[in-house]
């Protein structure tokens, strides 16, 4: 047995794990050879993150074996996994913003006494050795997303990890930064380390990785020994299980209607009081979908908030159907026909501890009254109509919504926003984190709204989604508009360089 | 106003400062680890009664001081169990600790009310420095607890900024998942911090019942535990600023019983005609004013509070 | 090695929210019995005395209800702020402020007839409570200063001001040098109902009903709960958080001020520094046990009133009344811990591959899963 495993850096065997209401892994396997970059593929909810969390000692599997470097392991905590040589780089970075780069890197494996200068020197040596520049004395909150990712990788290298797990590493990177990352990972693999690479972006997977394991509904459905032998389409088919594509097709372009939303010279600050939007000029017409392209954190969130009255612009004007609405409250804007599907559903837009009914009436509770009191029967009836119209799968309507799945939360939220036929819909990352059916349903609703004459502003990190749905694309970088493009005529390379802030050709 | 009265005022300032500093330093440790403990008043009171009773029994102020710290740690341990291990609401648990601690102290100490201790800390002159005029008495001829508090303050600063544990403690107060992911035990760090914090508060209580107001009466902590909680905010969660704040509050606490003996005029009013009861509101009003000023100064900046303060952590929670 | 891990339950156990309170009472009784036994008392005897003096007979019930009234009002005060996730730790001080302002008004308007004077005093009591809350409320709504510390600090300020008043400007000239404040005019006494119970109890009950309905059944209450549960979502729904924080805190202060005034004109005869008598602090526990719901406050306040009356009665047995404070805190701790176990279960985790000893629950296959 041991000899069979000796040539594996990682072998996760028959992993089972369930959470309340969800089976995350149902006997999944993963074998990674030393010195290779191994892609772990699958739809959202296929169990990828659960698998690597088991490997990292975060989750304890209900059944199954974990082998690392030829030894069977039983991790009680992340410390055990780190000691066994597993390094994790999470999609949402696990860094302490107020600590410095060096402090973050040594956290957990620091010497008993900290001598800052000595540690900073050693961190600087390490980052030089792997060609990953990072100033060890800077606090992490000052760093860009790409720099933070470097800190995460250095953190694992500091612990001399033999297996590095990267969860969706390029989601926060520009195409150029992603290429640099690919080169750095290749250098690590050539040095004998193994990398587990989780991504949706199949073109990058094929470019960076040697082998692949595909998960579907918690089980391993395919392993690919050599990624050069397969094409993207067959990989995608393995992931979704049938040839049904991921994206809803946009109906042919129609003549755009009158202007419903316009921004003129809008500037705004972010939560830290630093400029987040600079001189934004854009319009959205009735019956079109305008896509906002950009790496996240380039002002998209602030843009959505300014349009929806959650953030006051410092300069400029916002008009809806020709009326100046600059500085209007979110409630007033909704009544004027501006609906909003926010990016952080459970933080803004929904109240996780309140019931389905309470969440359904967030926009309309004032009209569910009877005399002085809120009419419970009116609220329930309204909620039921949403649930039916948008096929939300819920348990009891009086239970907190925290138990609903991401797709159902999003259907409830979108349904509520569309209930009173808006004229502008701002949708931020509406399909993120949903499975194929959920994505199709949400995208279907967006396309329907376009057909019904709503002006849709779609903010997404998924370039494919934007290309498939949008009538026009606007690229944002560092709070500025880099240019406007037609989706059918613009090569991705041009969009990519605009996303990276390079002047469009 | 006599020279002796002024020196006396500052001697008392240092002592009152020490009292709130000890408790606030304990709260600082807990809060840097991300745990808000509103039970300081209760822990101090428990420390005061148990320190006094052990002192009465053993005749040794040091045994009493250490026993009070142990009791404080134990009471803090209850908060750690409920709010850190079980993850219940920290505000509710801390308040219950204060109310229950006051009640339990009253119950435990019901038979020693009014007894006079035969033991107390004596002032400890530091050779060569205690004789310096003015400063000698104020800084170098104080009870040993004052020097212990200074050493503890330095130790906490050193541990927080210069050791592996301090780094882990600061990290767990900012982000528990991150600290967990690198292999530190969130529960051990937080529970440990709360218990050490409780020990400091308990020791502060014993300083009160053994030296500053020898004896035991119900409610003798009189809100100074709450001042300690506020002081942590005043000190922006840093031991150095905390020490300065403690001296400032110590001054207002020391001023109250003395102001009547001062023959000075302020804004056309003879201060010695102001009622001591009215002067007693000074530290509490000062606390509110200072909190407002601090919030005003930080209104456009990220707060210096630990980011995870008050948030429970469970690893497999999604 | 086998270790316990808390795992969230698929479904919260049914009807557990009110059950937590019952568990808390049981836990407190057991721990209290141990404490009594260790200190050489007979727990059965003490508990019997407490029960008899709180519940058996009209006089006992009237004593319990007399205590229930201020506890219900301070509990309501804390719960109104708590419905929005705010903590009014200073109801004790607002009670004093209310009683102080009411006393001052009574001194100036003692020529009024009984009902008019009572109405004026109750109104000025509400104003007094609000006045003491004004600073913390504005600091919270406009600067984000934690209301926990500020409201608490003002408790000490309010009590010290009353101490000053009774030795200074309001000292009763007829008290022969003894520092105390003049009695409120006789016609200001609240009309009695039975025993020691006066119409203050009805006022408290009425307010509990009004606020229960307001919080759970009106748009105003919906906004309050939404803002407490998820502030960003409330802003998104068009709720002005500043105004909501201000109104919730001021109402909270006003209710506590009313509690102080009802104590002043019902149970007591004059303003003293001990008038608030810990009711404000106990009100925090009452509200926490009622899970910040005004509808639950009445029940918890009644039980706490009984515990306090019982605590007073056992002094004749030579047992300290501090027992009742300990019991109150223990009820809260017990309920807190119980609430954790209603939402979580313990799973004993051994090394991988060994049975963890839990049965696998049948689940529907997950059609759509959150990203795990």
What whole-number distance in Å separates Cα of residue C293 and Cα of residue C212?
A: 7
| Count of CB atoms situated within 10 Å of the CB of A273 | 11
Q: Is the pLDDT of residue A288 over 60?
A: yes
* pLDDT at residue A432 in the model: 76
CA distance C109 to chain B (A): 26
Q: Which residues contact A367 (CB under 8 A, 6 or more apart)?
A: none
State which of A370-374, A419-423, C167-171, C253-257 shows the largest mean pLDDT: C253-257
Q: Is the pLDDT of residue A245 over 70?
A: no
Report chain B's mean pLDDT, rounded to a whole number.
87
Average pLDDT over residues A15-42: 86
CB B246 within 8 A of CB B24: yes
**A275-285 and A424-428 strand pairing:** unpaired
| Count of CB atoms situated within 10 Å of the CB of A497 | 19
Q: Do C226 and A354 touch (CB under 8 A)?
A: yes
What whole-number distance in Å separates Cα of residue A149 and Cα of residue C303?
A: 56
How would CATH label the architecture of B3-297?
A: Orthogonal Bundle (1.10)
Per the model's pLDDT, the better-predicted residue between B190 and B6 turns out to be B190
Least confident of A246-260, C205-219, C274-288, C328-342: A246-260
CB C153 within 8 A of CB B281: no
Residue A310 touches partner B, C-beta closer than 8 Å: no
CB A476 within 8 A of CB A263: no
Q: Read off the pLDDT band of C141 (50, 70, 90).
A: very high
Please report, for residues A358, B26, B114, C292, the alpha-carbon distance to residue B49 in angstroms, rounded to integers and kept in the order given.
50, 18, 12, 33
Least confident of A344-348, C262-266, C274-278, C301-305: A344-348
Q: Do C369 and A405 touch (CB under 8 A)?
A: yes
CB B69 within 8 A of CB B199: yes
* pLDDT at residue C365 in the model: 34
- Among B87, B222, B285, the residue with its CB nearest the CB of C157 is B285
Q: Do B87 and C333 touch (CB under 8 A)?
A: no
Please report, for residues A375, B157, C21, C206, C226, the alpha-carbon distance to residue A400 in angstroms, rounded to integers and kept in the order given.
19, 44, 22, 30, 13
- Among C7, C146, C168, the residue with its CB nearest the CB of B275 is C168
Average pLDDT over residues A267-276: 85
* pLDDT at residue A503 in the model: 63
Average pLDDT over residues C135-155: 92
* pLDDT at residue C359 in the model: 33
Residue recorded with tokens 């001296």: B247
CATH (residue range A259-350+422-499) = 3.40.50.300
CB A275 within 8 A of CB A267: yes
**C344-349 and C3-8 strand pairing:** antiparallel
What whole-number distance in Å separates Cα of residue A289 and Cα of residue A268?
A: 24
Per the model's pLDDT, the better-predicted residue between C229 and C345 turns out to be C229
* pLDDT at residue C67 in the model: 94
Q: Which residues 427-486 of A are in CB contact (within 8 Å) with C?
A: 433-435, 437-438
CB A434 within 8 A of CB A409: no
Residue recorded with tokens 């119209």: A389
**A37-41 and A480-485 strand pairing:** unpaired
Average pLDDT over residues A247-254: 64
User: Which conformational region is residue C317 in: left (phi greater than 0), alpha (psi within -120 to 50 degrees), or beta?
Assistant: alpha
Q: Do A94 and B177 touch (CB under 8 A)?
A: yes
Tell me which chain C residue has its CA closest to the CA of residue B279: C160
State which of A12-21, A121-130, A241-250 shows the largest mean pLDDT: A121-130
Please report, for residues A456, B317, C151, C234, C247, the alpha-carbon distance to residue A362 in angstroms, rounded to integers and kept in the order given.
21, 26, 31, 8, 20
Report chain A's mean pLDDT, rounded to a whole number.
86
Least confident of A296-305, B50-59, B111-120, B171-180: B111-120
Per the model's pLDDT, the better-predicted residue between A226 and C10 turns out to be A226
What whole-number distance in Å separates Cα of residue B51 and Cα of residue B70?
A: 10
**B99-130, pLDDT tens digit by residue?**
999 999 999 998 888 888 766 667 666 666 67
What whole-number distance in Å separates Cα of residue A383 and Cα of residue A389?
A: 10
Q: Which two tokens mark A457?
A: 């502003």
Q: Read off the pLDDT band of C370 (50, 70, 90).
A: very low
Q: Which two tokens mark A362?
A: 């967030």
Q: Do C352 and A74 touch (CB under 8 A)?
A: yes
Q: Is the pLDDT of residue B318 over 70?
A: no
CA distance B298 to chain A (A): 11
Q: Where are the domains of chain C?
A: 66-171+199-294
What whole-number distance in Å separates Cα of residue B251 and Cα of residue B9?
A: 8
Q: Where are the domains of chain A?
A: 2-240, 259-350+422-499
**B60-97, pLDDT tens digit by residue?**
889 999 999 999 999 999 999 999 998 888 998 999 99
Q: Which two tokens mark A332?
A: 């007033």
Q: Read off the pLDDT band of C7 (50, 70, 90).
A: confident
Q: Is the pLDDT of residue A344 over 80?
A: yes
**C122-134, pLDDT tens digit by residue?**
999 999 999 999 9
Q: Which residues contact B298 (CB under 8 A, 6 or more apart)?
A: B304
Average pLDDT over residues C53-60: 91
Q: Is the pLDDT of residue C303 over 90?
A: yes
CB contacts < 8 A, B to C, total 149
* pLDDT at residue C368 in the model: 36
Average pLDDT over residues B277-301: 83
pTM, rounded to two decimals: 0.85
Average pLDDT over residues A342-363: 89
Average pLDDT over residues A487-494: 76
Burial C27-45 (b: 16+ CB within 10 A, else e): bbbebbbebbeeeebeeee
ipTM for the assembly: 0.85
Cα angle A52, B308, B311; round to 5: 85
In chain C, what residues touch B103 (CB-CB under 8 Å)?
322-326, 328-329
* pLDDT at residue A394 in the model: 80
Average pLDDT over residues B232-244: 91
Average pLDDT over residues B44-52: 96
Q: Is the pLDDT of residue A483 over 60?
A: yes
Q: Read off the pLDDT band of C53 (50, 70, 90).
A: very high
Q: Do B278 and C330 touch (CB under 8 A)?
A: no
In chain A, what residues touch C235 (CB-CB under 8 Å)?
310, 330, 348
Report chain C's mean pLDDT, rounded to a whole number.
87
Average pLDDT over residues A330-348: 89
* pLDDT at residue A247 in the model: 57
Average pLDDT over residues A361-370: 88
Q: Do C333 and B287 touch (CB under 8 A)?
A: no
What are the helix (H) ranges across A227-314? 232-240, 300-307
Considering the four listed CATH numbers 1.10.3430.10, 3.20.20.80, 3.40.710.10, 3.40.50.300, the one that applies to the domain covering A2-240 is 3.40.50.300
Please report, for residues B178, C26, C275, C301, the alpha-carbon distance to residue C308 in angstroms, rounded to integers and kept in the order given.
46, 16, 15, 10
Per the model's pLDDT, the better-predicted residue between A149 and C12 turns out to be A149
CA distance C255 to chain A (A): 22
Three-state SS string over B28-72 comes to HHHHHCCCCCCCHHHHHHHHHHHHHHHHHHHCCHHHHHHHHHHHH
Neighbours of chain B (3+ CB pairs under 8 A): A, C
Q: Do A363 and C352 touch (CB under 8 A)?
A: no
What whole-number distance in Å separates Cα of residue A283 and Cα of residue A302?
A: 17
Closest CA to B250 of B19, B24, B13, B9: B13
Neighbours of chain A (3+ CB pairs under 8 A): B, C
Q: Read off the pLDDT band of A250 (50, 70, 90).
A: low
Q: Do A108 and B316 touch (CB under 8 A)?
A: no
CA distance A46 to chain C (A): 8
* pLDDT at residue C364 in the model: 34
State which of A165-169, A337-341, C265-269 shows the largest mean pLDDT: A337-341
- Among C8, C146, C332, the residue with its CB nearest the CB of B92 is C332
| Residue B4: strand, helix, or coil | helix
Q: Do A94 and B316 touch (CB under 8 A)?
A: no
* pLDDT at residue C206 in the model: 96
Average pLDDT over residues B178-200: 93
Least confident of A77-91, B1-15, B257-271, B304-318: B257-271
Average pLDDT over residues C125-151: 94
Average pLDDT over residues A26-45: 88
Q: Which residues 350-389 of A are in CB contact (within 8 Å) with C?
A: 350-354, 358, 361-363, 365-366, 369, 372-374, 376
């Amino acid at each position: 047995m041991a000899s069979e495993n000796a040539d594996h850096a990682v072998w996760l065997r028959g992993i089972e794990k369930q959470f309340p209401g969800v089976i995350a892994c149902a006997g999944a396997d993963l074998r990674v050879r030393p010195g290779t970059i191994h892609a772990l593929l699958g739809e959202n909810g296929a169990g990828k993150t659960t698998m690597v969390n088991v490997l990292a000692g975060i989750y304890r599997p209900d059944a199954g074996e974990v082998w690392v470097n030829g030894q069977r392991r039983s991790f009680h905590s992340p410390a055990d996994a780190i000691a066994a040589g597993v390094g994790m780089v999470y999609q949402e970075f696990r860094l302490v913003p107020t600590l410095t780069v060096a402090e973050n890197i040594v956290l957990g494996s620091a010497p008993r006494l900290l001598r800052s200068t000595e540690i900073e020197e050693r961190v600087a040596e390490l980052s030089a050795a792997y060609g990953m520049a990072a100033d060890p004395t800077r606090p992490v909150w000052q760093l860009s997303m790409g720099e933070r990712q470097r800190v995460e990788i250095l953190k694992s290298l500091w612990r001399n990890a033999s297996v590095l797990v990267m969860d969706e590493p390029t989601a926060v990177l520009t195409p150029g930064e992603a290429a640099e990352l690919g080169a750095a990972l290749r250098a690590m693999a050539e040095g004998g380390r193994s990398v587990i690479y989780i991504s949706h972006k199949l073109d990058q997977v094929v470019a960076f990785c040697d082998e692949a394991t595909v998960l579907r509904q918690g089980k391993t459905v395919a392993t690919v020994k050599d990624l050069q032998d397969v094409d993207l389409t067959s990989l995608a088919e393995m992931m979704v299980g049938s040839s049904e594509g991921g994206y809803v097709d946009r109906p042919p372009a129609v003549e755009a209607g009158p202007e419903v939303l316009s921004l003129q010279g809008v500037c705004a600050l972010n939560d830290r009081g630093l400029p987040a939007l600079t001189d934004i000029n854009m319009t959205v017409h009735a019956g079109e979908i305008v896509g906002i392209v950009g790496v996240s954190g380039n002002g998209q969130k602030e843009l959505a908030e300014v349009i929806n009255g959650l953030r006051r612009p410092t300069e400029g004007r916002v008009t809806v159907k020709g009326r100046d609405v600059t500085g209007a409250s979110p409630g007033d804007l909704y009544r004027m026909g501006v609906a909003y599907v926010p990016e952080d559903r459970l933080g803004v837009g929904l109240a996780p501890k309140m019931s389905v009914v309470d969440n359904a009436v967030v926009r309309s509770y004032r009209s569910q009254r009877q005399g002085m009191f809120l009419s419970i029967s009116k609220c329930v009836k309204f909620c039921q109509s949403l649930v039916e119209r948008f096929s939300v799968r819920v348990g009891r309507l009086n239970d907190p919504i925290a138990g609903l799945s991401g797709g159902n939360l999003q259907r409830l939220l979108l349904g509520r926003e569309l209930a009173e036929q808006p004229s502008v819909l701002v949708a931020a990352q509406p399909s993120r984190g949903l499975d194929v059916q959920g994505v199709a349903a949400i995208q279907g609703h967006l396309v329907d709204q376009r057909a019904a004459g709503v002006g849709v502003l779609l903010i997404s990190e998924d370039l494919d989604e934007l290309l498939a749905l949008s009538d026009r694309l606007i690229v944002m970088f560092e709070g500025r508009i880099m240019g406007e493009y037609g989706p059918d005529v613009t090569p991705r390379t041009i969009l990519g360089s605009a996303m990276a802030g390079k002047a469009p050709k | 106003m006599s020279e002796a009265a002024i020196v006396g005022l500052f001697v008392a300032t240092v002592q009152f400062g020490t009292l709130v500093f000890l408790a606030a330093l304990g709260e600082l440790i807990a809060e840097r680890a991300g745990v808000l403990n509103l039970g300081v008043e209760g822990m101090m009171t428990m420390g005061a009664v148990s320190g006094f009773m052990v002192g009465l029994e053993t005749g040794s102020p040091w045994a009493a001081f250490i026993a009070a710290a142990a009791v404080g740690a134990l009471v803090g341990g209850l908060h750690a169990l409920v709010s850190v291990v079980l993850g219940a609401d920290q505000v509710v648990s801390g308040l219950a600790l204060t109310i229950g601690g006051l009640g339990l102290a009253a119950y435990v100490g019901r038979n020693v009310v009014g007894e006079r201790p035969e033991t107390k800390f004596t002032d400890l002159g530091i050779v060569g420095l205690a004789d310096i005029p003015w400063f000698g008495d104020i800084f170098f001829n104080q009870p040993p607890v004052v020097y212990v508090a200074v050493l503890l303050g330095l130790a906490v600063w050193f541990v927080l900024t210069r050791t592996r544990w301090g780094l882990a403690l600061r990290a767990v107060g900012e982000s528990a998942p991150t600290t967990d992911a690198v292999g530190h035990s969130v529960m051990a760090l937080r529970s440990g911090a709360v218990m050490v914090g409780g020990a400091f508060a308990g020791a502060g209580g014993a300083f009160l019942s053994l030296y500053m107001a020898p004896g035991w009466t119900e409610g003798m902590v009189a809100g100074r535990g709450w001042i300690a909680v506020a002081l942590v905010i005043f000190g922006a969660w840093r031991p150095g600023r905390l020490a300065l704040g403690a001296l400032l509050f110590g001054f207002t606490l020391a001023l109250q019983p003395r102001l009547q003996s001062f023959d000075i005029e302020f804004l056309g009013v003879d201060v010695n005609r102001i009622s001591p009861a009215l002067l007693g509101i000074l530290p509490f009003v000062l606390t509110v004013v200072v909190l407002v000023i601090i919030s005003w100064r930080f209104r456009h900046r990220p707060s210096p509070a630990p980011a995870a303060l008050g948030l429970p952590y469970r690893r497999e929670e999604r | 090695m086998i270790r316990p891990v808390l795992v969230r339950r698929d479904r919260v156990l049914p009807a557990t929210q009110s059950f937590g309170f019952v568990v808390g009472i049981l836990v407190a009784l057991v721990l209290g019995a141990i404490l009594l036994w260790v200190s050489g008392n007979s727990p059965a005897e003490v508990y019997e005395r407490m029960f008899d003096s709180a519940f058996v007979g009209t006089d006992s019930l009237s004593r319990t209800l007399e205590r229930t009234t201020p506890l219900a009002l301070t509990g309501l005060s804390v719960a109104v702020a708590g419905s929005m996730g705010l903590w009014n730790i200073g109801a004790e001080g607002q009670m004093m402020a209310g009683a102080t302002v009411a006393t001052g008004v009574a001194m100036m308007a003692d020529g009024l007839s009984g009902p008019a004077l009572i109405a004026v005093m109750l109104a000025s009591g509400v104003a007094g409570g609000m006045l003491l809350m004004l600073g913390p409320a504005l600091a919270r709504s406009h600067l984000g200063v934690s209301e926990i510390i500020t409201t608490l600090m003002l408790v000490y300020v309010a009590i010290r001001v009353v101490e000053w008043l009774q030795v200074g400007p309001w000292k009763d000239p007829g008290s022969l040098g003894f520092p105390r404040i003049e009695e409120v005019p006789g016609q200001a006494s609240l009309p009695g109902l039975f025993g020691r119970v006066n119409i203050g109890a009805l006022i408290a009950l009425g307010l509990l009903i009004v606020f229960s309905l307001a919080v759970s059944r009106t748009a105003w209450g919906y906004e309050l709960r939404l803002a407490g549960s998820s502030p960003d979502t409330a802003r998104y729904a068009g709720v002005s958080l500043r105004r909501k924080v201000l109104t919730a805190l001021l109402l909270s202060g006003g209710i506590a001020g009313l509690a102080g005034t009802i104590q002043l004109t019902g149970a007591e005869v004059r303003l003293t520094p001990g008038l608030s008598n810990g009711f404000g602090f106990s009100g925090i526990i009452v509200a926490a046990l009622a899970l910040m719901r005004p509808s639950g406050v009445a029940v918890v306040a009644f039980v706490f009133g009984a515990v306090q009356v019982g605590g007073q009665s056992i002094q004749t047995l030579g047992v300290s009344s501090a027992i009742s404070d300990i019991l109150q805190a223990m009820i809260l701790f017990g309920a807190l811990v119980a609430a954790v176990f209603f939402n979580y279960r313990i799973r004993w985790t051994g090394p991988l591959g060994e049975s963890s000893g839990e049965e696998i629950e049948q689940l529907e296959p997950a059609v759509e899963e959150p990203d795990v």
